[in-house]
Amino acid sequence: MDIDFDCTMCGKCCHNLRLPLTVPEAITWLRRGHQTQLFLEAIPWPEEPPEDNLIAAHKRRRSFPASSGSLPIRVVAVIVAAFDGPCPNLKEDMRCGVYGSRPLVCRIYPAEINPFIPLNPEQKACPPEAWTQATTPLLRQGNIVDAQIAALIAESRNTDAADVDAKAALCEALGIASVALSNEGFVVYTPDPSALLSALESAQAAITSVRPQSWQFVSNRSATVDALRSVDAVASERSAWETESAEFLGFFPDEVIGNSGSNA
């Protein structure tokens, strides 16, 4: 597949997002006074997949081990910049006010970070002319041709894996122990900003591994709850699970979370 792309400066990709951040980016975002959330999902992991299972290897490197009852799981925690309407850093002329230090996912857009998600212009916020009238090569035979973007994608993947221990420590520090089943939804936490910033700074500095926590699954489907309980996992239906600082969001289109699900 060959794809060309030229930014039209429409600003559509800078509105109504839950934008994935690295741990250092999240600290910077909070220090600027912006809102940050945590999106949690977990994958049942009863045994290690074969080494040639590349999708499983990708999920493993960006998740931390835990358990739900007697079921081994791996938890994926995504720290996101949360905003409705324009990004707080977007200027009236649609230029980025922090362009030189904008998050990695913004630098990479519209390319995908997840190696198993193909770039689909129809799933992006950009107008048709950004693709149809473009002259700058982005993909050639399915491969990124811009060396800088390719390097940023590699950096993002490596940072995502490197942040895993800090995210595990963050969850433990904040007492977070509820999670959604992968591909079904997310449990979304909105901690107090000052508490989150303090916990992030401490988690980033931690050098010791966090012991696996015991987690409960939350679902809006009774069949999912029954299936999880049948394998000795702890599971609750959304209607029976309430917390002031968290909510359950059922599955929604990937593009809601930043780069068309590129961090998934």
pLDDT at 207: 62
User: What CA–CA distance (Å, rounded) separates 120 from 111?
Assistant: 9
Residue 49 CA to residue 89 CA, distance in Å, equals 42
Which among 255, 75, 87 is positioned nearest to 171, based on CA atoms?
A: 75
Q: Comparing C-alpha atoms, which of 115, 143, 150, 132 is closest to residue 4?
A: 132
Residue 262 falls inside a structural domain: no
pLDDT of 263 = 41
Please tell me the predicted confidence (pLDDT) of residue 251.
64
Q: Find the helix or strand (DSSP H, E) in which 194 lies.
A: helix 193-205
Number of domains in the chain: 1
Low-confidence residues of the chain: pLDDT under 50:
252-264
Does a structural domain hold residue 261?
A: no
Position 235 in a domain: yes
User: Rounded to an integer, what distance in angstroms lies between the CA atom of residue 46 and that of residue 231?
Assistant: 10
Q: Which amino acid is at 205?
A: A
Q: What is the mean pLDDT of the chain?
A: 91
Domain that holds residue 90: 3-256
Q: Is residue 264 part of a domain?
A: no
Specify the 3-state DSSP secondary structure of 34. Answer: coil
* Three-class DSSP category at 10: coil
Q: Is the peptide bond prior to 110 cis by the omega test (within 30 degrees of 0)?
A: yes
Question: pLDDT of 130-140, one tens digit each?
Answer: 999 999 999 99
Any domain includes 102:
yes
Question: What pLDDT sits at residue 210?
Answer: 65
C-alpha atoms less than 13 angstroms from C-alpha of 12 in its C-beta half-sphere: 12
Q: Is 65 exposed, middle or buried (0-12, 13-18, 19+ CB in 10 A)?
A: middle
Structure tokens at 93: 């002329």
Q: Is residue 156 part of a domain?
A: yes
Q: Could you report the per-residue pLDDT of 58-96, keeping only the tens digit for each?
A: 999 999 999 999 999 999 999 999 999 999 999 999 999
Q: Which residues share a beta bridge with 218?
A: 180, 236
How many whole angstroms separate alpha carbon 12 and alpha carbon 167?
Answer: 30
Tokens of 100: 């030189």
In a domain, 164, yes or no: yes
What is the distance, to the nearest Å, from the Cα of residue 237 to the centroid of all Cα atoms in its chain? 23
Q: Beta partners for 187?
A: 40, 248
Is 263 inside a domain boundary?
Answer: no
CB 12 within 8 A of CB 123: no
Q: Which of 81, 87, 74 is nearest to 40 (CA)?
A: 74
Q: Are 83 and 114 in contact (CB under 8 A)?
A: no
